[in-house]
Structure 1
Amino acid sequence: MVRCEATKQTRRTRRTLVAHRNAPLTPEGRRRLCQRVDAGRPICHVAAEAGVARQTLAKWHARWKADGPAGLQDRSSRPVSSPGQVDAQVEDVVEYLRRHLKLGPVMLAAELREFGITLAPSTIHRVLVRRGISRLRDLDVTGHQLREPVRRYEWAAPGDLIHVDVKKIGRIPDGGGWRIHGRGNDAHRASQRGQRPGYAFLHTAIDDRSRLAYTEELADEKSVTAAGFWARAVEFFAAHGIERIHRVLTDNGSCYRGKDFNTALGATVHKYTRPYRPQTNGKVERYHRTLAREWAYRQAWSCNDERAAALAGFVHRYNYHRPHTALKGKPPAYRTPAVTNLSGLNR
């Protein structure tokens, strides 16, 4: 893989390098060598002085005599014929399936076998590259994107919008789960006897502007539970100078449609995402992905309490220390109104 990447880099470098027009062995240098041969000097002497093979200089001189300066230009190294290349009619079939089924090389190889055509996925990929349809966006012949364009937005001030969501994860049985014992062995089966761990519910509120996040692991996702979480989240944001929250964005889950949660919001405007559109609440969805990778599944935990105890440490690191790419490498706390008193909060 490393060698392949290095080869690609070398090819890119070769394409971008431009030699000086008077450099030796460029078309200008070849012309000068040919003129020395025309002046009567032995071709083997001229080739030795230039440091090239006699056969190479003889080839250039023959092109010079036949075509003049144009014959000394660089030519493509592509062979005149490629007997091993895929037949054009087969390439047409590959292109047809690609455009109509939107499949990748591996799946296209299976589809082609239905037509009695056997091609390796790597060969199909080269065909797609030659036809200019190796990427899904290359198939957009109608002028409309296959995927909706990314619409990024950010509210002007902290507190203008808070994203709220719940992520459900499996609880860890006492003694550890399959990440410690493996799957299907005696130790794994023994760890499951008499235990029904169930699920834990991660309630999260994240500020749209600063990305400051507050997360709790709770037992359920009922409306009354979400209401209690919201009250504690408001206190957390207030401690960071976000004293007024104007809007809250949630999905259409029953806990957010419930009376308890909406009563807890008070005068805060409650906005809902469009059904089946988690992208609208993308900031909290992306945070949950980071939460899963850097906390929930970072290591094999011996019990659920051990993992839950580490949650506060993750949230602290996320808010005060972890560089955020959307904030030019700064942690979220640096975008809050309380940034001047960060030392008092960052304990």
Structure 2
Amino acid sequence: MNKNAPVNARIRLAIAQWPDDAPRGAVTTFCAEHGITRKTFYAILARARDEGQAAVLEPRSRRPKTSPTRLSEDLKQDTLKVRAALESSGLDHGPISVHDKMIALGMHAPSPASLARIFRERNVARSEPAKKPRASYRRFVYPAPNACWQLDATEYVLTGGRKCVIFQLQDDHSRLAVASHVASGETSEAAMAVVKKGIEAHGVPQRLLTDNGAALNPSRRGVEGQLVTYVTSLGVKAITGKPYKPTTQGKNERFHQTLFRWLDKQPLAATHQELQEMVDRFDLVYNTERPHQGLPGRITPQQSWDATAVAEAPRPKPLPVLPEPQASGPAAMCQVAATVHMVSDQASAPVNWRLFVPEAWDDTCADTNEHAEAVAARRVKARIPDYVRNRPKWELALEMINELAHWGRTCPVAVADAGYGDNALFRLEPTRRSIPWAMAVKASTSAYPADAIPELAERTSPKGRPSVPRYRQDPASLAELAGAAGRGQLRQVTWRHGTKTGRGNRAAAMKSRFLALRVRPASRHKNPVAHRTRLPRTENRARPLPLRGTVLPGPPPPRHPRVSGPPVHHQETPCHPKSSRGSLSLYRVLKELQRILIRQLARCPYCQHAPPT
């Protein structure tokens, strides 16, 4: 019998009834037969003589009479209140954060382990045993501030479904938020703007760590970006992480999570200026008030920056002379249009068009309030409608194709240049609608050979996420795949007859050599709203906004939900954000609410016409 196991009730009863005139050696024999010690035997016998035979049938409770370290109910309620206050402020509200906040407020703080147990008991937190522990990652930290900066961008949704990008620049050693910048898109100009802002405030770093994005550091693609050229001229070493391994920039990725947790508790921003002010306030709280759990002693990033001497700035190089943009031409005068043409072998005619508004003509993309007011005045003078905003040309093109389909004009074949074909989302739309297409792309576009097949990785442990099929080889550019095919695969094709004839070309034939090559696209583009964009909370909106599609955020033409015909914006695709109800998509919920609104108002809120019966 295990020495810690309770003694059976039958054995206890036999000991309690033990005769006083038992022969010598009977106790030893009894203990050996039942697997108990003589000490246990005489303890039970003494208790039976003191308390009676009925008292020894159950073992005594091992619970202590007093528990001085037991947490009171009032203290548990105080911990829950502190956690709720941190959560409502948009700050981290885990056990460690609550522990530090209670100490800062002069309150008695239980240990982080006790706090975690309290939160699980009250169902305000959940246990995640399958989560990868922090100790499993290979940590790295540079020895001094300005030894390395990390730069990354993340998308944000403004009111009306308009998307923008937030650049965040962070010091690797101290985790200090060096600078932040709100822009309309992830461009090299915006990346250079945030780096210049950080250099002006904190000096020149020795290294700049980014991902392999085209706007940040496309060196692995064989291209030198504008940001790399600029920082290299200052003596800064531009480095990148391994492709598809975001843990290298894990500090900045976690920085995004903290930012969006804080923005979720703020009113939804309507313009870039409002969002920039909110991000600046967050940087101040992050640097000076919020203890950082990744720093020794859980100090603030500003304290960590001040505790260590700043690394010596690198030796600068001559700045490259970049051509200044000329304020002339159709783009500067807002005279650029995106058009859809119907063409034949003899002629072409435009059938639909949209005005393309550059960023310089959109006051919501301005950097300062003064600039925004000037742009707004210029828009009023040019009589540009308020709903016409800066949007990518490929979105305008898809909107026009949808409108033509509503008019009963189907597209037999879609042809576009590289300005549209380089966008993977634009290429996917005709494919999804069964429209044949031929689009130009850049030679640097990545792809896999036709014989490449995604394979499942062999799992070494039953824990963790299930593996998904992946290509086990790196993609190559189209130029490399075409070169590997060889010159022998080229075929001369007459693709058009022009008007200029020559001595050896009486028919004015336009000839060129072509290569037909079957490949598998390697673009990793996904729906930005469903896969990458964090949708902030939508409280405190000034007014209800019209329903808009996730791919085309512009105002839709008037449509009745029950009118038969091809859909325009709200396409049912797996890319729509899913609600917590599983198969019930957010799009279906919004569409049903739209139908209820039309039934209540007895008219369409867009065109003010009565719905069809």
TM-score when scaled to structure 2?
0.29
Larger radius of gyration: 2
TM-score when scaled to structure 1?
0.50
* Higher RCO (CA 8 Å, separation ≥ 6 residues): 1
Q: Larger % of helix: which? A: 1
